Structure 1
Amino acid sequence: MITLDQIAKRFKAPAPKASGLGALLKKPAASWVEAVKSVSLQAGNGRITGLLGPNGAGKTTSLRMLAGLFQPDAGRIEVDGIDVLREPQAALARMGILGDAHGLYPRLTARENIVYFGRLQGLSQEQAEARSEALSELLDLKKVIDRRAEGFSQGERMKTALARALVHDPANIVLDEPTNGLDVLATRSLREALRVLAREQGKCIVFSTHIMQEVEYLCDEVVVVSRGSSVARGTVDELKQQAGCERFEDAFVALAFGNEKEAA
């Protein structure tokens, strides 16, 4: 179970540079940017929960707070009942996180990347090796598992990074726009893996996206985020009913922007 309860975060923006006499007389005041105003989400085991919103809506910042990278200015974050702020190590141990950067050690093979992170997570060498083998099967990495990561395609890099995040068999999986830059086959492979992890292994999966098709194919529940706030929550059918729209894309526009003119 992952819970975000009215979390908020703002950042200090650089002050504009003054020139001439104005720079000597008065220092420009810094401004603040509200990246997240009020986002709430509750994701349960065996379910895939989507955080859906346009670019700049606050999805990535919300997930980075969940991962303990930023401390929220307000709100509560819990993972399996563990407060992320009070017990960050215990909460992180319950999660496998795939961020928006899939950095791998290029001179290590895919297997070595996965095993290394397994060891960092406290697994024995034998356990880490066994997990790397199981994950290579699940994520269709058999052909590249013993190749150096240098020169991997975007899909191969993403799947290796996902295996690395799953090596300690976490109960909760957090993905930030995982299909960015993937081709059709890699995207289909990832979707199938996520279905197996949720439906067959009972994992709690949260992922952010701005792609309608992904949400319709995968999500048991969707949280719509717009301008830093969660504005709607429900299944795809429930959201279409809330918006009074037959097409999910139209429902998203209505819920996130109010009307199509504003969205344009």
Structure 2
Amino acid sequence: MKLLRYGPKGHEKPGLLDPAGQIRDLSDHVADIAGAALLPETLRKLASLDPSTLPPVVGGPRLGACVGAVGKFVCIGLNYSDHAKETGSPIPKEPILFAKWTSAIIGPNDDVEIPVGSEKTDWEVELGVVIGQGGRNIDEAQALDHVAGYCVINDVSERAWQLERGGTWDKGKGCDTFGPIGPWLVTTDEVPDPQALGLWLEVDGHRYQDGNTSTMVFGVRTLVSYCSQFMSLQPGDIISTGTPPGVGLGCKPPVFLRAGQVMRLGIDGLGEQRQTVSMAK
């Protein structure tokens, strides 16, 4: 299934994308694509529905983040060896964890704002892992049983604030609009191998990133298990799994986003995002 949320900001409704590309309303079956709706038993019930019997959504509504009421937005740093190399960093011996604040979350095609005072706002296409069945100290062999599905994430980053202002990376990662998620959550039955997905990102039509999840340092199984050692994972939590090479910071000379530019990014089978860059007021 391809689950989604549509409608005005703050008033999104649950939906799914049918095989013909038509959005269908799920409001009679779940309140939101969030929390308990992502548990295995609920996903099985939704999968049993005949999409043609669900009300079609007319027009072209705005898409919100494909997961609502996100509790934790956990990110993994330097998880592609070639990305670590382009930033001059060693390959991690253990996953690097940091957080994006949930106030950063926006829809897949909403504007991304350059924060006031920023000079080094950058892009990062990433595979997002959405937790279904929660847990702690999850065994790696069972880790994928705890995944509801996958989505596209743009881990927008302010590099000066991330790397030059002291402390943790978080201050350069969680600005408002720095977390586009979607367009849809694709359930695990449609993603047989999360370690075999091409992912890419373009700015104004120039392709900067063109990678594959097969080159992750730590795969999805490992990341779910690892994160669960340090926090309880709960339905609707998101793990953003790192980015391949081609970020603006790694260009020579570095290239950063400017107002008016357009980012396009996508992952095989998970859809595409498109964001216009603007200046925050």
Decide: shared fold, TM above 0.5.
no
Q: Which structure carries more strand by proportion?
A: 2
TM-score (norm 1): 0.25
Instruction: Please report the TM-score for the alignment, with normalisation by the length of structure 2.
Output: 0.24
> More helix by proportion, 1 or 2?
1
Rg: which structure is higher? 1
